[in-house]
Amino acid sequence: GENVEQHPSTLSVQEGDSAVIKCTYSDSASNYFPWYKQELGKRPQLIIDIRSNVGEKKDQRIAVTLNKTAKHFSLHITETQPEDSAVYFCAALNTGTASKLTFGTGTRLQVTL
């Protein structure tokens, strides 16, 4: 089955700096890669996703890049703000087989003033 590794487990950045979270996956057939943000005591929320037919996707201050050859994808947050502080989870899925979404272990991002 799919295995997703996520690094780092914790990340502290100063407000205004950029943050990068990296994930690797094992199943080359995976073609859908979402990122979830979970604030303390809240549900995980889908913030951005990328499919295997594109290499990069941006939405305001967040972007995701995908390297299919190396089987890794990354979340980039620019101009970080205190409200970006949360736990971020990456995930991978092969939509063709309707297999389960496999989640990474999570990254706790702390944006300090």
Partner 1 sequence: SAVISQKPSRDICQRGTSLTIQCQVDSQVTMMFWYRQQPGQSLTLIATANQGSEATYESGFVIDKFPISRPNLTFSTLTVSNMSPEDSSIYLCSVGVTGTGELFFGEGSRLTVL
Contact residues for partner 1, defined by CB under 8 A: 32, 34, 42-46, 49, 89, 93, 95, 100-101, 103-106
Using an 8 Å Cβ cutoff, are 40 and 88 in contact? no
Smallest distance from the beta carbon of 18 to partner 1, in angstroms? Answer: 24
What distance in Å separates the CA atoms of residue 113 and residue 93, rounded to the nearest whole number? 36
Q: Which one, 23 or 77, has the nearer CB to partner 1?
A: 23
Q: Which one, 27 or 78, has the nearer CB to partner 1?
A: 27
Smallest distance from the beta carbon of 100 to partner 1, in angstroms? Answer: 5
What distance in Å separates the CA atoms of residue 30 and residue 7, rounded to the nearest whole number? 19
DSSP 9: S
Q: Which one, 11 or 101, has the nearer CB to partner 1?
A: 101
Smallest distance from the beta carbon of 92 to partner 1, in angstroms? Answer: 9
Q: For 19, how many CA atoms within 13 A lie in the half-sphere containing its CB?
A: 29
